[in-house]
A and B are shown apart, each in its own frame.
Chain A
């Protein structure tokens, strides 16, 4: 068929290791994209998604090469073109929107210049016209004050704004095809939702086809017409978005879907143990070692990608084939997946004591350090980064702090851990005062409060083996413990985080992200802490690994009665894991309550905005976008912290007076801080949900 925009046939890509061994990255991948179609490409890290995306642009990472097959774009073989011809296609016909826009914009060039460069190269527009078109493009991606934005350098923009610039740059050449490589990973939920809507609009308006690469099925569900699931360098399932989410027919797809925490279902999702093997290293099905349906045939014979059904399709392009690569697909599709899904989520609700572990009273934290000149001239202090925090965390409880980046979640946790001083207020833990610096705390206290960081790559010393990493806290906190006892403890710690004792000799570089995070958890638990502060501990991990880590943390809590303060920007994770939630905006609390209270109306307007923007892995669910996503850099001096972004602000009172805490009727823990009376808020919100 000649109408295909992209036609990838039997594409096999590999590279040679230092030792001369050939490693496959992609194996016999077939992929077609029609004009105007959006294809979602999903899979865990290391499945070859990004390689496939880059190959589509005729680009391979250095060292990699094509071992077979071809990539055709509008009939042209991308890997047979000269570099001159490639330059003519890249940017003009296929444009890339990268994962990390911040790092993909040249730091020494103004963003307007970079877009003008793309216009010049890809549309032949120069001079004054290019300037006008740049401002137009920046307006099209909904950046405020586009003419001023054009004069900024990349570092002067927020993450969401940088991503919008990347979109504008990609649109400069008016391409037929966009390749998007995890473009919203790392952005706040609200920003992500806005960018996705923007992309949907742009694509609809301009008839552009998209290949959207992501590990996040919620995002994929929102944008894709059709979805290809990649596993170990192979396509294992391919169907229309609706069909795939309704009847996932490969155990891997099901595993992915089951491991996502959901807003609508409480409880921790099922984790998928193991990780993908290197492509082409198993004689049978590559998913077999992780598959609960596997039988002998799976070990011996590689399944073929076959059409299992034709599904009626609302788009007239006629891509109705549902493809799956599994010996047992018939068995899988017999049952109703959506019913099965409900049983997957294991509720971790438990009895929580009412004995407080950590009490935070009127805490104010500021990063502002006036200099000599400022003191001399009496420069007024800016409003504190975090202010008026009152929160009690009970023993054995998980309290989640949620909010966008810049909401002060990490700041509060850093203060509790003693890394950052509080300016005002008190934090107490039994008889201890936690406003003291971590170095001044007695060792006993240091031992009892531990912290796990977001990025294990940064928090584990790359030159220490797992053995060293676990040995240190044991030596530090149990100085009298003999060597044999420590060795025994290390093994049992690894066992508890479900790592084999042989991992003791490994170094961080020899482990996957999930394994490293488990080592970081084992290190924290080596101290036998009572309180563990978790700072975005799962946000750098694949969904399948995230579920395992959450499950592990829940088990450890059950076993030891540990108290968690849990920071995350993912509201579904909060729903799955937390007992109580505190919603923060600009360093001030907006709403506090149990999980169930937070996730049903009445909401604080900010909590409603966050929940509305969160995505579920369901193509029929639309996010509810309220207000803008323009981030603010500092809290307002007086009044409600949310005054400048609030879609339902009452009036001047919001700017001048901080609202008092109000308890909705009938609730015990739930508190909201808003000038709108609760019943009114409640009525408004049930209405908007119903209308949606």
Chain B
């Protein structure tokens, strides 16, 4: 098992290097560089040269890549010229906000999706299943800005239960009020992401419930709860791990549209601002951070599969 984990870790790191290269090359390929983006129309050849010298932009590309990627590994992403601050400082709070939002949505949505999926499977083709499945299909097919806007209309404008827009600074403390503000974004995200997990859990639970070993457990006299929780669910969860991971990664990736709809100071919003300001260093930094999240979460999903699936865990050799 240890060499298996080692192999996965190595692969994850190689993927990260590859992604960082792509991000770096993509930004390089854009017309102009940071200096011209910073100075904009006021640029004179002289001022550009001075700036390039100051920020080390004259060094060959591979050297700049190594400096940048090395910095990233050490947690230093350089400075944002547009915002005149170290990038870590610019990103910090927004990243924190997005993480809190994503984690809250995951904490609410994933267990709920699994529970409802199991519930739907157990009441297969009867009305509880039909209701759950129908709602989940709506959640899946409606674009998230429609769902979000709809929820704002109902809960913020009509019922006035929650705030419709996140009117808070990015460094707002994470307190009760914070959670009150993110209620609606969380609800929207939950609705949108739940369907994928729920439907997969339902299908795989149905498959497991008709398997020989569940039938055997019934004939062995195992009570219903034992069948569901001991014999069926751990097996039904295996195929869903990856979709759960993808969902979490998607949430962390800064759900651009939701953050925009609710004007939430998260990393997605920041990225859009960065693009419109032509703050290349910022965009580049966010891209690599998001990639790292994706890779990291998928690595965790692989490891979770290892823990849950004895077939993989006890595999000898390969």
* A interface, CB within 8 angstroms of B: 57, 59, 86-92, 95-96, 98, 100, 103-110, 117-118, 121-122, 153, 155-156, 169, 173
Whole-angstrom distance between the Cβ of B9 and the nearest chain A Cβ? 16
* B interface, CB within 8 angstroms of A: 211-223, 226, 230-231, 234-235, 308-311, 314
Residues on B with C-beta less than 8 A from A105 are: 213, 216
Question: Which of B215, B218, B223, B235 is within 8 Å of A108, CB to CB?
Answer: B235
The secondary-structure label for the interface of chain B is helix
- Known interface pairs A121-B222, A122-B221. Does A108 touch B234 (Cβ–Cβ under 8 Å)? yes
Chain A residue at minimum C-beta to C-beta distance from B309: A108
Residues on A with C-beta less than 8 A from B234 are: 108-109
Q: How far, in angstroms, from A169 to B230 measured CA to CA in the complex?
A: 16
A117 touches B212 (CB 8 A): no
Whole-angstrom distance between the Cβ of A107 and the nearest chain B Cβ? 6
A106 touches B223 (CB 8 A): no
B220 touches A169 (CB 8 A): yes
Q: How far, in angstroms, from A110 to B311 measured CA to CA in the complex?
A: 11
Chain A residue at minimum C-beta to C-beta distance from B220: A91
B220 touches A109 (CB 8 A): no
Residues on A with C-beta less than 8 A from B211 are: 103
Question: Which of A88, A90, A107, A108 is within 8 Å of B220, CB to CB?
Answer: A90
Chain B residue at minimum C-beta to C-beta distance from A54: B219
4 further interface pairs, Cβ-Cβ under 8 Å (given A59-B219, A107-B310, A117-B230): A87-B221, A103-B213, A106-B213, A109-B230
Residue pairs across A and B with Cβ atoms less than 8 A apart, 16 shown, are A103-B213, A104-B212, A106-B213, A106-B217, A107-B235, A107-B311, A108-B234, A108-B235, A108-B309, A109-B231, A110-B310, A117-B222, A118-B220, A118-B221, A121-B223, A156-B314
Residues on B with C-beta less than 8 A from A88 are: 221
B311 touches A121 (CB 8 A): no
Chain B residue at minimum C-beta to C-beta distance from A57: B219
Q: How far, in angstroms, from A59 to B214 measured CA to CA in the complex?
A: 13
Whole-angstrom distance between the Cβ of B16 and the nearest chain A Cβ? 21
Whole-angstrom distance between the Cβ of B219 and the nearest chain A Cβ? 5
Chain A residue at minimum C-beta to C-beta distance from B308: A108
B230 touches A104 (CB 8 A): no
Question: Which of B213, B216, B223, B231 is within 8 Å of A96, CB to CB?
Answer: B216
Residues on A with C-beta less than 8 A from B221 are: 86-92, 118, 121-122, 173
Residues on A with C-beta less than 8 A from B217 are: 106
> Would you list the 5 A-B pairs with minimal beta carbon distance, nearest first?
A91-B221, A104-B216, A103-B212, A153-B310, A108-B234
Residues on B with C-beta less than 8 A from A122 are: 220-221
Whole-angstrom distance between the Cβ of A137 and the nearest chain B Cβ? 14
Whole-angstrom distance between the Cβ of A164 and the nearest chain B Cβ? 15
Residues on B with C-beta less than 8 A from A103 are: 211-213
Residues on B with C-beta less than 8 A from A92 are: 221
Q: How far, in angstroms, from A584 to B223 measured CA to CA in the complex?
A: 47
Question: Which of B219, B220, B235, B310 is within 8 Å of A155, CB to CB?
Answer: B310
- Known interface pairs A100-B212, A104-B212. Does A153 touch B311 (Cβ–Cβ under 8 Å)? yes
Whole-angstrom distance between the Cβ of B163 and the nearest chain A Cβ? 44
B218 touches A59 (CB 8 A): yes
Q: How far, in angstroms, from A110 to B230 measured CA to CA in the complex?
A: 12
Q: How far, in angstroms, from A103 to B223 measured CA to CA in the complex?
A: 20
B219 touches A106 (CB 8 A): no
B311 touches A98 (CB 8 A): no
Whole-angstrom distance between the Cβ of B128 and the nearest chain A Cβ? 18
Residues on B with C-beta less than 8 A from A98 are: 212, 216
Chain B residue at minimum C-beta to C-beta distance from A103: B212
Residues on B with C-beta less than 8 A from A96 are: 216, 219-220
Chain A residue at minimum C-beta to C-beta distance from B223: A87
Residues on B with C-beta less than 8 A from A117 are: 220, 222, 226, 230
Q: How far, in angstroms, from A109 to B220 measured CA to CA in the complex?
A: 15
Whole-angstrom distance between the Cβ of A100 and the nearest chain B Cβ? 6
Whole-angstrom distance between the Cβ of A655 and the nearest chain B Cβ? 25
Q: How far, in angstroms, from A92 to B219 measured CA to CA in the complex?
A: 10
Q: How far, in angstroms, from A169 to B216 measured CA to CA in the complex?
A: 11
Whole-angstrom distance between the Cβ of B282 and the nearest chain A Cβ? 40
- Known interface pairs A107-B235, A108-B234, A153-B311. Does A91 touch B219 (Cβ–Cβ under 8 Å)? yes
Residues on A with C-beta less than 8 A from B213 are: 103-107
Whole-angstrom distance between the Cβ of A16 and the nearest chain B Cβ? 16
Whole-angstrom distance between the Cβ of B11 and the nearest chain A Cβ? 14
Pick the most buried of B213, B223, B234: most chain A CB atoms within 10 A of its CB. B213
Whole-angstrom distance between the Cβ of B311 and the nearest chain A Cβ? 5
A90 touches B230 (CB 8 A): no
Q: How far, in angstroms, from A105 to B222 measured CA to CA in the complex?
A: 13
Residues on B with C-beta less than 8 A from A156 are: 314
Q: How far, in angstroms, from A87 to B224 measured CA to CA in the complex?
A: 10
Residues on A with C-beta less than 8 A from B216 are: 96, 98, 104-105
Chain B residue at minimum C-beta to C-beta distance from A179: B219
Pick the most buried of A86, A103, A108: most chain B CB atoms within 10 A of its CB. A108
B310 touches A108 (CB 8 A): yes
Chain A residue at minimum C-beta to C-beta distance from B234: A108
Q: How far, in angstroms, from A548 to B196 measured CA to CA in the complex?
A: 50
Residues on A with C-beta less than 8 A from B223 are: 87, 121
Q: How far, in angstroms, from A2 to B212 measured CA to CA in the complex?
A: 34
Residues on A with C-beta less than 8 A from B235 are: 106-108
Whole-angstrom distance between the Cβ of B235 and the nearest chain A Cβ? 5
Residues on B with C-beta less than 8 A from A104 are: 212-213, 215-216
Chain A residue at minimum C-beta to C-beta distance from B227: A106
Pick the most buried of B221, B226, B235, B310: most chain A CB atoms within 10 A of its CB. B221
B309 touches A121 (CB 8 A): no
Q: How far, in angstroms, from A156 to B311 measured CA to CA in the complex?
A: 8
Residues on B with C-beta less than 8 A from A57 are: 219
B220 touches A95 (CB 8 A): yes
Whole-angstrom distance between the Cβ of A245 and the nearest chain B Cβ? 31
Whole-angstrom distance between the Cβ of B224 and the nearest chain A Cβ? 8
Q: How far, in angstroms, from A117 to B234 measured CA to CA in the complex?
A: 16
Q: How far, in angstroms, from A121 to B230 measured CA to CA in the complex?
A: 14
Residues on A with C-beta less than 8 A from B222 are: 87, 117, 121
Q: How far, in angstroms, from A169 to B217 measured CA to CA in the complex?
A: 11
Q: How far, in angstroms, from A87 to B308 measured CA to CA in the complex?
A: 29
Residues on B with C-beta less than 8 A from A173 are: 221
Q: How far, in angstroms, from A106 to B218 measured CA to CA in the complex?
A: 12
Residues on B with C-beta less than 8 A from A91 are: 219-221
Residues on B with C-beta less than 8 A from A106 are: 213-214, 217, 230-231, 235
Residues on B with C-beta less than 8 A from A59 are: 218-219
Whole-angstrom distance between the Cβ of B129 and the nearest chain A Cβ? 15
Whole-angstrom distance between the Cβ of B247 and the nearest chain A Cβ? 23
Chain A residue at minimum C-beta to C-beta distance from B221: A91
Whole-angstrom distance between the Cβ of B1 and the nearest chain A Cβ? 14
Chain B residue at minimum C-beta to C-beta distance from A153: B310
Whole-angstrom distance between the Cβ of B234 and the nearest chain A Cβ? 4
Whole-angstrom distance between the Cβ of A299 and the nearest chain B Cβ? 40
Whole-angstrom distance between the Cβ of A97 and the nearest chain B Cβ? 10
Whole-angstrom distance between the Cβ of A243 and the nearest chain B Cβ? 32
Chain A residue at minimum C-beta to C-beta distance from B311: A155
Residues on B with C-beta less than 8 A from A87 are: 221-223
Chain B residue at minimum C-beta to C-beta distance from A84: B223
Residues on B with C-beta less than 8 A from A155 are: 310-311, 314
Whole-angstrom distance between the Cβ of B264 and the nearest chain A Cβ? 39
Q: How far, in angstroms, from A169 to B234 measured CA to CA in the complex?
A: 21
Q: How far, in angstroms, from A86 to B231 measured CA to CA in the complex?
A: 19
Residues on B with C-beta less than 8 A from A100 are: 212
